[in-house]
């Protein structure tokens, strides 16, 4: 199953979630009505219908209100979920060895997979081994780990866990999981309201003349139904999440091409006294379906949000036997494992620190690929990609990494990336910056410009990927000015390069996604035929950019159109102002369905260069296009 098939399957899972939620709400309404009838004992049949209608309206209002309130609270995305359970943000410039190792692993996977580096959090008081990814899109993704995971897992095991979480990022599971929190909150709210009303309205006296009786009746009904709500909530979470956990385990193995890391993490959960339980996190029950391992004990496997631990281990190690769990428990009962000490013994300790700078290799002039091969790489990660991500991370100069990891320096950093090397051109650009964003910003950007004069071109977008979360954290006023300023800087010399366009569009798209992730995460449903003019415009612009020979560009365009919509006869008309024209195609094309996106991306490969050879510039344009269509593509030219 490729990325596009997984996106289609995720839509089916969402439909199933809505149906289960609707059925649960109907069942709860019926149960509430029955309980109220039993407790209230209406005096005559005529009063039954108004009573049931009133109780049903109140029940629906509470569920709808609780759901809406929670969804609005989590609308900010992954960071809101992490903070809601008491997680603490991690400074990406940290020198703490355990945190540094975590930051490095996530950064390498991000650079390899083509998604911005997620925001990172830690549950400092949780000794169990666990983690979760939250958010609506990769732009607002947050990955949280427990202190127990950082302390007890070695680097390979932590990488296996993070690979599992990255699968949720790439497969679109995060959006489903966050929405599940919102939907179930309304159901669980019934019980809480019942207990509060019972305590404050009836349990402390109420109306001594009997006026408080209806309140007590409703409170008791809601309290009873609160338990029913938890029953349905757990049932829905189990039905939605278990299969996706199997898929995430399989993806983690695919990403790293070794089972020992993930297998070792699961065995440690089985063997250490704390397991994967969350004991201190606020609202741990709300995120139980998002966790790497069970956050607590389930009284029945029917309600478990994860497959049985033994079955997960056995899927990775068929020779594993149940009695081995007892051996592991005895081994770690007295002295829990020490992941950093294991790194030393395994020779992995050096990879926990900020990687030393390496001389970047001379990139290949071209990379050969086919349309089918490239579309199969969207939204996935191979061990080769992971090695490339680690290599890219190691090649970024420490000074640049530090600047890209600090909120105070990321804005001047991206401004400096588009400054001209010629003094006269740079002076004109700095005047634009000073006019738009102030003299301090202009001076800071000028001081950083020379760093990019010697930076190998294949490292520019990786630096942007590291900087992206910190860019989006700036105030709205700053972000509203940043993208127009970058566009003016790029056009200051009368033209715009492929890299300049890629940089400005990536940052603009990232800011839009991070500003309203819930709205930007909705999967497309439109057939590409309904927006074919935008598709043909994109193909014509890309064909003109990727082929210097007009005849070759026309051939590439024709082949691309035939791949996208067989039988369509469209004249080749390259746009006069390619980049301005392209700005109008992203919104309609991002709204097409997954199958249409797959055909569109395959057509783009053909349009960029009909001989199948991609240069670095062409590969960056293709990766930017895929990012704007929310189809992350690994960095395949390094």
What are the structure tokens assigned to 326, written together?
């007892």
56 within domain boundaries: yes
DSSP element (H, E) containing 120: strand 119-123
Catalytic residue among 107, 108, 126, 165: 165
Give mean pLDDT, residues 540-550. 86
- In sequence order, the 6+-apart residues with CB closer than 8 A to the CB of 528 are 535, 564, 565, 589, 592, 593, 596, 599, 600
Mean of the pLDDT values across residues 126-144?
91
Total residue count of the chain as it appears in this document: 638
**Which one, of 524, 635, 504, 544, lies nearest residue 589 by Cα?**
524
Residue 347 above 80 pLDDT?
A: no
> What's the confidence (pLDDT) of residue 536?
95
CA distance 367 to 634: 13
Average pLDDT (598-608) is 91
Residue 400: domain span: 355-408+454-638
Q: Are both 625 and 582 inside the same structural domain? A: yes
Both 317 and 369 in one domain: the answer is no
Number of domains the chain is built from = 2
- The pLDDT of residue 9 is above 90: no
Q: Is residue 55 domain-resident? A: yes
Is 124 one of the catalytic residues? no
CA distances from 156 to 152, 204, 497 (A): 12, 57, 40
Question: 378 and 251 share a domain?
Answer: no
What is the SS3 assignment for 567-613? CCCCCCCCCCCHHHHHCCCHHHHHCECHHHHHHHHHHHHHHHCCCCE
Clarify whether residues 320 and 361 are in a common domain: no
pLDDT digits (tens, 9 = 90+) for 434-489: 999 999 999 999 999 888 878 888 888 899 999 998 998 899 899 999 999 999 99
How much is the pLDDT for 391? 87
- Indicate the DSSP class of residue 526: B
Tens of pLDDT along 523-534? 788 999 999 999
pLDDT tens across 184-239, in order? 787 777 767 766 666 665 545 445 444 555 667 666 766 776 677 777 777 777 77
> Residue 133: beta bridge partners?
143
Looking at the structure, tell me whether residues 167 and 66 fall in a common domain: yes
**Do both 371 and 497 map to the same domain?**
yes
What pLDDT, on a 0 to 100 scale, did the predictor assign at position 266?
93
pLDDT at residue 360 above 80?
A: no
Per the model's pLDDT, the better-predicted residue between 31 and 571 turns out to be 571
Beta-carbon count within 10 A of 319 CB = 6
8 vs 601: which has the higher pLDDT: 601
For residues 347 and 451, the model is more confident at: 451
Residue 341, burial from CB neighbour count under 10 angstroms (0-12, 13-18, 19+): exposed
Residues 74 and 191 in one domain: yes
Whether residue 202 is contained in a domain is answered as: yes
Q: Is residue 427 part of a domain?
A: no
- DSSP for 201-261 reads IITT---TTTTTHHHHHHHHHHHHHHHHHHHHHHHHHHHHHHHHHHHHHHHHHHHHT-SHH
Same domain, yes or no: 200 and 264? yes
Q: Which pLDDT belongs to residue 26?
A: 87
Q: Which of 567, 557, 566, 555 is nearest to 537 (CA)?
A: 557
Model pLDDT, residue 340 = 86
Other Cβ atoms less than 10 A from the Cβ of 44: the count is 6
Give φ, ψ of 81 to 5 degrees. Answer: -65, -45
The answer to whether residue 185 sits within a structural domain is: yes
* Mean pLDDT within 133-161: 92
Please tell me the distance from the alpha carbon of residue 143 to that of residue 132, in angstroms, as a whole number.
Answer: 6
Taking each helix axis from N to C terminus, what angle separates 498-515 and 476-491, rounded to the nearest 10 degrees? 170
Q: How high does pLDDT run on average in the chain?
A: 84
Residue 38, Cβ density class (10 Å: 0-12 exposed, 13-18 middle, ≥19 buried)? exposed
Q: Model's pTM, two decimal places?
A: 0.87
> What integer pLDDT is reported at residue 566 of this predicted model?
92
Name the pLDDT band for 638 (thresholds 50, 70, 90).
Answer: very low
Cα separation, 244 vs 14, in Å, equals 12
pLDDT score at 295 = 78
Does a structural domain hold residue 172?
yes
CA distance 55 to 37: 10
Residue 281 lies in a domain: no
What is the predicted pLDDT for the residue at 531?
95
**Cα dihedral value 186, 188, 191, 194, nearest 10:** -20
Query: Which pLDDT belongs to residue 304?
Result: 76
Domain assignment of residue 94, yes or no: no
The tokens for 624 are 């930017």
d(CA 291, CA 146): 11
pLDDT of residue 260: 87
Q: Give per-residue pLDDT as tens, 263-320.
A: 999 999 999 998 898 888 777 777 888 889 887 665 556 667 788 888 899 988 888 8
In percent, the amount of the chain with pLDDT more than 90 equals 33
Same structural domain for residues 252 and 157?
Answer: yes
Q: Are residues 328 and 377 in the same domain?
A: no
One domain for residues 497 and 620: yes
- Chain Cα centroid distance, residue 107: 14
Same domain flag for 630 and 545: yes
Between 221-230, 403-412, 593-602, the lowest mean confidence (pLDDT) is in 221-230
């Amino acid at each position: 199953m490729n990325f596009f098939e997984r996106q289609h399957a995720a839509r089916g899972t969402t439909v199933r979630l809505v149906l289960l939620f609707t059925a649960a709400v109907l069942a709860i309404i019926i149960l509430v009505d029955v309980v109220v009838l039993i407790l209230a004992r209406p005096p005559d049949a005529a009063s039954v219908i108004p009573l049931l209608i009133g109780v049903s309206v109140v029940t629906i209002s509470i569920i709808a209100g609780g759901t809406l309130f929670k969804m609005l609270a989590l609308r900010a995305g992954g960071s809101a979920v992490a903070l809601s359970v008491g997680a603490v943000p991690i400074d990406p410039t940290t020198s703490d060895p355990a945190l540094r190792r975590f930051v490095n692993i996530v950064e390498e996977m991000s650079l390899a997979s083509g998604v911005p580096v997620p925001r990172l959090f830690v549950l400092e008081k949780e000794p169990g081994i666990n983690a979760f990814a939250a958010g609506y899109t990769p732009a607002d993704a947050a990955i949280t780990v427990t202190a127990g995971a950082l302390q007890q897992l070695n680097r390979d095991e932590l990488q296996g866990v993070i690979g599992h979480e990255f699968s949720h990022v790439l497969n679109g599971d995060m959006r489903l999981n966050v929405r599940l929190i919102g939907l179930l909150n309304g159901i669980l709210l019934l019980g809480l309201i019942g207990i509060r009303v019972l305590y404050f309205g009836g349990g402390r006296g109420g109306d001594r003349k009997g006026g408080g009786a209806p309140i007590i009746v409703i409170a008791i009904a809601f309290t009873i139904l609160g338990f029913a709500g938890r029953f349905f909530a757990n049932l829905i979470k189990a039905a939605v999440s278990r299969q996706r956990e199997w898929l995430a385990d399989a993806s983690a193995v695919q990403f790293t091409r070794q089972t020992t890391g993930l297998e070792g993490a699961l065995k440690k959960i089985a063997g250490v006294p704390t397991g994967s339980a969350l004991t201190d996190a606020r609202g741990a029950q709300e995120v139980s379906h998002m966790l790497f391992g069970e956050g607590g004990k389930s009284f029945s496997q029917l309600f478990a949000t994860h497959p049985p631990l033994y079955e997960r281990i056995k899927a990775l190690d068929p020779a594993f036997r149940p009695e081995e769990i007892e051996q592991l428990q005895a081994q770690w009962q007295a002295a829990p494992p020490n992941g950093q000490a294991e790194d030393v013994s395994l020779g992995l300790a050096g990879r926990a620190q900020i990687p030393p700078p390496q001389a970047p290799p001379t990139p290949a002039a071209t990379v050969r690929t086919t349309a089918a091969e490239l579309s199969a790489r969207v939204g996935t990660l191979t061990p080769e990609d992971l090695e490339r991500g680690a290599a890219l991370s190691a090649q970024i100069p420490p000074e640049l990494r530090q600047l890209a990891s600090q909120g105070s320096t990321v804005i001047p950093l991206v401004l400096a990336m588009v400054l001209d090397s010629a003094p006269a051109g740079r002076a004109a650009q700095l005047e634009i910056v000073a006019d738009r964003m102030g003299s301090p910003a202009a001076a800071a950007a000028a001081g950083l410009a020379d760093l990019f004069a010697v930076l190998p071109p294949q490292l520019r977008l990786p630096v942007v990927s590291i900087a992206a979360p910190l860019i989006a954290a700036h105030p709205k006023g700053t972000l509203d000015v940043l993208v127009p300023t970058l566009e003016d800087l790029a056009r200051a010399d009368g033209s715009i390069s492929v890299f300049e366009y890629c940089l400005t569009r990536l940052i603009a798209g990232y800011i839009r996604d991070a500003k309203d992730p819930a709205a930007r995460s909705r999967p497309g449903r439109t057939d590409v035929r309904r927006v074919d003019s935008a598709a043909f415009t994109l193909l014509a612009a890309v064909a003109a950019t990727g082929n210097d020979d007009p005849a070759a560009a026309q051939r590439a365009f024709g082949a691309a159109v035939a791949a996208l919509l067989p039988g369509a006869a469209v004249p080749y008309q390259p746009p006069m102002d390619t980049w301005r024209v392209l700005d109008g195609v992203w919104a309609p094309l991002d709204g097409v369905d997954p199958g249409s996106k797959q055909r569109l991306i395959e057509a783009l490969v053909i349009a960029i260069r009909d001989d199948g050879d991609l240069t670095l510039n062409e590969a960056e344009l293709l990766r930017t296009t895929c990012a704007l269509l929310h189809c992350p593509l690994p960095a395949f030219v390094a």
